[in-house]
Amino acid sequence: MNLSEDVHFDEIFDKAKSDARLVKLTTPETPSQVIACMKFWWSRQYNRPLKDPLLSTYTIYDLLYEYHLYKDSDNPTAAANEIINDSKTEVDALVKEMDEEFMNKEFGESWNMNENDFK
C-alpha cells in the first residue's frame, strides 16, 4: 500500500511520531522500549537503516552486548569495525546458506555444478 492509497494517513503519522519519540527516551521504561532504543542506537552507530537485514540477525543480548562493548571501549572506532567485520562474515555465511537452500528447492540437488562441468 502506498501513501496515496492510505485512508488512515493521519493516524499512521501520529502513531509513527509517537513511537519515534518513545525510542528517543533517555531512560526506556519497558523491555520493548529498550529493544527499540538499542535498534535505533545500532542504526545510528553504523549508519545503516533500521530495516537492514543485518540488524534482524541480532538477538537482544547481541544488541546490548555490542552497545556496552562499544560504549566502554578505549577505541570505539576499532571496536565498531571489528563488530562490523564479524557481523558481515556471519551474514555472508547466512546468505550463502539461504541461496543454496533456495537453489536446492527450485532446481534440486543437481544445480550445484563445479567449474569442471563447463570444460
In a domain, residue 4? The reply is no
In a domain, residue 116? The reply is no
> How many independent structural domains does the chain possess?
1
In a domain, residue 78? The reply is yes
In a domain, residue 115? The reply is no
- Domain span at residue 102 reads 9-110
Question: Which residue type is seen at 94?
Answer: L
pLDDT of residue 48: 92
- Taking the C-alpha atoms of residue 71 and residue 80, their distance in angstroms, rounded to an integer, is 10
pLDDT of residue 111: 58
- Taking the C-alpha atoms of residue 15 and residue 32, their distance in angstroms, rounded to an integer, is 16
pLDDT per position as a tens digit, 85-99? 666 676 677 767 777
Residue 46: burial class (beta carbons within 10 Å; 0-12, 13-18, 19+): middle
pLDDT of residue 47: 92
Q: Concatenated DSSP letters for 36-85?
A: HHHHHHHHHHHT--TT-TTGGG--HHHHHHHHHHHHT-SSHHHHHHHHHH
Q: What are the residue ranges in the chain where pLDDT is below 50? A: 115, 117-119
To which residue does cell 566502554 refer? 72
In a domain, residue 96? The reply is yes
